């Protein structure tokens, strides 16, 4: 068994030696995704899609609880509509796919596949919103989007991805700002309480903000290789899109006013975050709330009397308690199965063998720390539920400690340059775009966010020495 184990583990690269290869190995070995015949497009296989379904269901409930409803808007956007908001089209035109023919006929106007839906949604809001009574308008869309990419990696950057995009319209700038921050907070709470991923929240720099936004807010997570991942963004679009797409309303006072809009999005990219935050050299480690299988029941020495039956009973008990359990009574060796389910990151493995049956117990093995627990059969579903909660907390704490260990404060550019090789650097910054560009050229690091929680480190910009405006999180990023 030890031998099998070893063999299996060496099938994937180690994180410390080759992190990108480890990532690729994990997503392939766990059957989360596959590469397709279309360059840059991924196939999300059932195991990966199962994670996304759980994330969707958790997020969707949060969107509905905050008053949003789902709707669906067209996949294709006429070029004339896309180009109405100048900054927006400048940002997105280089990466859209163009449809030029329908059947055998050339189209009178080419249509792009949505890279995001502000333009088409705003054109509808312009029709739907007449009076202050129609506000706020709170809509979310679950959809696929296409952004043409030259260099792709499954989940992290692909030419097509799945996401949700919230689009809301409000009477005032303040209402829009409140919504922008509310949804960022929904994202943060989701990331921490469902994915067990701690995030830094704050504002993007002018350079890094969404094309067409007044301000972009973001949540940023730290991966085990010291690179940051943007996990979700929320944009206050002010009246930029309302002016471009003529979204106006008649106020209570009978005055025609422009609306203020927001948009906010998260995507299948977050699955890449789960892998890179929690995974280890045995493979994936899934947070229990996003795990398609939370506990796998393995009968040990299946040929022995009563083993299959007991394992089946246990499986039924878990299912009945609402735990996403699976029973693996396949004919592979126990060692092979251990490795398989560890690779797939299932939070709990539950073994039932003849000796366990004698003692009326089961053996539970936690995926997060490989701890082995002997648990009485009576009330075992409750124990499993508690352990799943415990694993969530453990994963969160471990991820937080990892991030802390990869976060430094820099008061000079030498410290800064060393720091960004390893993770987040908190440093003071002047706020100038040229300085930001120069930092990126020299170190590969970008401003990840201007955190809400500010701290004064020095008076001067860590790079150019001019007067500092903010404390910023810098990092190399995906």
Calpha distance 81→99 (Å, rounded): 14
Smallest distance from a second copy to CB 120, Å: 7
Of 141-149, 208-216, 223-231, 249-257, the segment contacting a second copy by CB under 8 A is 141-149
Contacts 24+ apart (CB under 8 A), 63-67: 63/140, 63/164, 63/166, 63/186, 66/138, 66/182, 66/183, 66/186, 67/138
> Is residue 139 a contact point for a second copy (CB under 8 A)?
yes
Query: How many chain residues interact with a second copy (CB under 8 A)?
Result: 52
Choice between 38 and 321, CB closer to a second copy: 38
Segments in 344-450 forming alpha helices (H): 354-358, 380-405, 413-419, 433-443
Site membership for a second copy, residue 124 (CB under 8 A): yes
379 near a second copy, rule: CB under 8 A: no
Confirm or reject binding of residue 329 to a second copy (CB under 8 A): no
Based on its alpha-carbon atoms, the radius of gyration of the chain, rounded to whole angstroms, reads 25
Q: Rule CB under 8 A: is residue 250 a binding residue for a second copy?
A: no
Asked if 61 touches a second copy (CB under 8 A), the answer is no
Minimum Å gap between C-beta 347 and a second copy is: 19
User: DSSP 3-state assignment of 164?
Assistant: strand
Q: Which listed residue (49, 155, 260, 338) binds a second copy by CB under 8 A? A: 49
Pairwise CA distance, residues 349 & 298, whole Å: 7
Minimum gap (Å) between residue 53 Cβ and a second copy: 6
Which residue in the set 6, 7, 16, 74 belongs to the binding site for a second copy (CB under 8 A)?
Answer: 74
97 binds a second copy (CB under 8 A): yes
Beta-bridged to residue 446, according to DSSP, are 475
Nearest residue to 90 via CA among 268, 229, 240: 240
Q: Which of 30, 123, 233, 446 binds a second copy (CB under 8 A)?
A: 123
The least distance separating a second copy from the CB of residue 98, rounded to whole angstroms, comes to 4
Determine which residue in the list 51, 55, 96, 285 makes contact with a second copy, applying CB under 8 A.
Answer: 96
> Considering only 9-17, 99-107, 407-415, 416-424, which stretch makes contact with a second copy by CB under 8 A?
99-107
Residue 224 as a binder of a second copy (CB under 8 A): the answer is no
**Least Å distance between CB 334 and a second copy?**
18
Task: Extract the tokens encoding 334.
Answer: 């126990």
State yes or no: residue 252 binds a second copy (CB under 8 A): no
The CA distance from 424 to 427, in Å, is 10
Candidates 12, 27, 54, 113; binder of a second copy (CB under 8 A) is 113
**Contact in structure between 395 and 285 (CB atoms under 8 Å):** yes
Q: Is 303 in the site for a second copy (CB under 8 A)?
A: no
User: Does 336 interact with a second copy (rule: CB under 8 A)?
Assistant: no
Is residue 322 at the binding interface for a second copy, with CB under 8 A as the rule?
no
Residue 160's SS3 state is strand
Name the strands in the sheet holding 424-429, side by side, starting at the edge strand that comes first in the sequence: 69-70, 137-146, 160-170, 260-267, 228-236, 215-222, 200-203, 446-451, 470-475, 424-429, 407-409
Shortest reach from residue 102's CB to a second copy, in Å? 4
CA–CA separation, 141 vs 308, rounded Å? 45
User: Which residue among 21, 144, 360, 418 contacts a second copy (CB under 8 A)?
Assistant: 144
> For 287, which DSSP code?
-
Burial of 280 (0-12, 13-18, 19+ CB in 10 A): middle
Nearer to a second copy, 127 or 455 (CB): 127
Q: Quick check: 129 binds a second copy (CB under 8 A)?
A: no
Q: Of these, 9, 83, 143, 377, which contacts a second copy (CB under 8 A)?
A: 143
* Residues pairing with 140 in the sheet: 70, 166
Of 43 and 464, which has the nearer Cβ to a second copy?
A: 43
131 belongs to the binding site for a second copy (CB under 8 A) = no
Neighbours of 259 (CB within 10 A): 30
Shortest gap between Cβ of 49 and a second copy (angstroms)? 5
Comparison of 46 and 322: residue with beta carbon closer to a second copy: 46
Within 10 angstroms of residue 433's Cβ, the number of other Cβ atoms is 12
CB 79 within 8 A of CB 112: yes
- 100 lies in the site for a second copy, by CB under 8 A: yes
124-132, 314-322, 352-360, 422-430 -> range binding a second copy (CB under 8 A)? 124-132
Instruction: List the beta strands (DSSP E) in 153-277.
Output: 160-170, 200-203, 215-222, 228-236, 248-250, 256-258, 260-267
Q: Which of 7, 34, 174, 305 binds a second copy (CB under 8 A)?
A: 34
Non-local (6+) Cβ contacts of 142 within 8 A are: 56, 60, 70, 162, 163, 164
The CA-atom distances, in angstroms, between 240 and each of 90, 124, 202 are 14, 16, 21
Binding positions for a second copy, 150-189, rule CB under 8 A: 159-160, 162
Question: For residue 303, what are the contacts with CB-CB under 8 A and spacing of at least 6?
Answer: none
Interface residue with a second copy among 67, 94, 306, 379 (CB under 8 A) is 94
The site for a second copy (CB under 8 A) is made up of 34, 36-38, 41-46, 49-50, 52-53, 69-78, 81, 93-104, 111, 113, 120, 123-124, 127-128, 139, 143-144, 146, 148, 159-160, 162
């Amino acid at each position: 068994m030890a031998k099998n184990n070893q063999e299996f583990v060496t099938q994937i690269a180690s994180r410390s030696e080759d992190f990108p290869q480890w990532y690729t190995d994990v997503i392939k070995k766990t059957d989360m995704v596959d590469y397709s015949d279309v360059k840059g497009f991924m196939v999300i296989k059932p195991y990966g899609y199962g994670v996304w379904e759980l994330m969707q269901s958790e997020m969707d409930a949060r969107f509905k609880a905050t008053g949003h409803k789902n709707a669906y808007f067209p996949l294709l956007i006429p070029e004339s509509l896309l180009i109405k908001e100048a900054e927006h089209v400048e940002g997105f035109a280089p990466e859209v796919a163009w449809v030029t023919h329908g059947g055998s006929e050339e189209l009178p106007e080419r249509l792009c596949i949505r890279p995001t839906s502000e333009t088409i949604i705003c054109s509808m809001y312009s029709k739907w919103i007449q009076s202050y009574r129609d506000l706020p308008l709170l809509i979310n869309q679950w959809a696929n989007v296409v952004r043409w990419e030259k260099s792709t990696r499954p989940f992290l950057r692909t030419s097509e991805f799945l996401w949700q995009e919230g689009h809301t319209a409000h009477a005032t700038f303040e209402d829009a700002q409140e919504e922008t921050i509310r949804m960022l907070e929904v994202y943060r709470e989701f990331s921490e309480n469902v994915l067990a991923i701690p995030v830094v929240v704050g504002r993007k720099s002018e350079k890094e903000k969404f094309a067409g936004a007044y301000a972009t807010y973001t949540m940023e997570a730290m991966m085990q290789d010291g690179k940051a991942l943007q996990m979700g963004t929320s944009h206050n679009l002010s009246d930029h899109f309302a002016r471009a797409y003529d979204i106006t309303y008649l106020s209570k006072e009978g005055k025609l006013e422009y609306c203020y809009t927001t948009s906010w999005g998260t995507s299948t990219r977050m699955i890449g975050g789960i892998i890179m935050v929690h995974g280890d050299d045995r493979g994936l480690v899934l947070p229990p709330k996003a795990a398609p299988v939370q506990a796998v029941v393995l009968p040990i020495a299946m040929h022995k009397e009563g083993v299959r039956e007991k394992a089946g009973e246990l499986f039924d008990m878990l299912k009945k308690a609402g735990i996403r359990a699976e029973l693996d009574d396949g004919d592979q060796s126990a060692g092979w199965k251990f490795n398989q389910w560890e690779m797939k990151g299932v939070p709990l493995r539950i073994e039932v063998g003849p000796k366990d049956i004698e003692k009326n117990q089961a053996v539970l093995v936690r995926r997060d720390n490989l701890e082995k627990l002997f648990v009485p059969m009576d009330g075992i579903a409750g124990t499993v539920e508690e352990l799943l909660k415990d694993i969530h907390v453990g994963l969160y704490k471990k991820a937080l400690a990892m991030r802390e260990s990869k976060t430094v404060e820099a008061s000079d550019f030498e410290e800064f340059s060393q720091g960004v090789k390893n993770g987040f650097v908190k440093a003071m910054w002047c706020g100038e775009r040229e300085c930001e560009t120069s930092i990126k050229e020299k170190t590969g690091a970008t401003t990840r966010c201007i955190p809400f929680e500010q701290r004064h480190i020095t008076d001067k910009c860590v790079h150019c020495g001019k007067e500092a405006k903010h404390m910023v999180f810098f990092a190399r990023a995906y």
